[in-house]
């Protein structure tokens, strides 16, 4: 899935969307893209892309092919491809990825491991 601004995200591009007012505790596994607009406490696993929206929050672990952080993540991000922190994004914890982009304004506090270094 290409990188794009949030206003261009469409529900049809995602296998699952967790709505803005939704709260979930536990483990989510999806075979494709996941859009988190609400709050998740637990584990998220996807063979596709995971997008955490500006209003979204994840406390726990996320493992995916690609991760866009526009909201808040407290915990661990494991990614086989690109992790991108957008200006509104905040990550506190660990990032384990092949590629990392931190845009101006984004916040990251923790440890980062990159494959091949």
Q: What residue numbers bound the domain in which 55 lies?
A: 6-114
Q: Is residue 22 part of a domain?
A: yes
pTM for this predicted structure? 0.86
Q: Is residue 1 part of a domain?
A: no
Q: Is residue 21 part of a domain?
A: yes
Rounded Cα–Cα distance for residues 86 and 33 (Å):
18
* Model confidence at 106: pLDDT above 60: yes
End-to-end CA distance of the chain: 26
Q: Is residue 20 part of a domain?
A: yes
Mean pLDDT estimate for the chain: 87
Residue-wise pLDDT tens digits, 28-62: 999 888 889 999 999 999 999 999 999 999 999 99
Structural domain total, the chain: 1
Q: Is residue 58 part of a domain?
A: yes
Cα angle, residue 32 at apex, residues 70 and 67 outer, rounded to 5° = 25
């Amino acid at each position: 899935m290409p990188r794009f601004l949030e206003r261009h995200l469409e529900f049809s591009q995602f296998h699952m969307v967790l709505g803005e007012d939704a709260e979930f505790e536990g483990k989510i596994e999806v075979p494709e893209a996941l859009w988190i607009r609400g709050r998740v406490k637990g584990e998220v696993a996807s063979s596709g892309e995971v997008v955490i929206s500006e209003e979204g929050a994840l406390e726990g672990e996320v493992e995916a092919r690609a991760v866009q952080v526009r909201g808040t993540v407290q915990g661990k991000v494991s990614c086989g491809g690109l992790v991108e922190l957008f200006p509104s994004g905040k990550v506190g914890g660990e990032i384990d990825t092949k590629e990392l982009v931190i845009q101006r304004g984004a916040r990251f506090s923790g440890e980062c491991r990159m494959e091949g270094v």
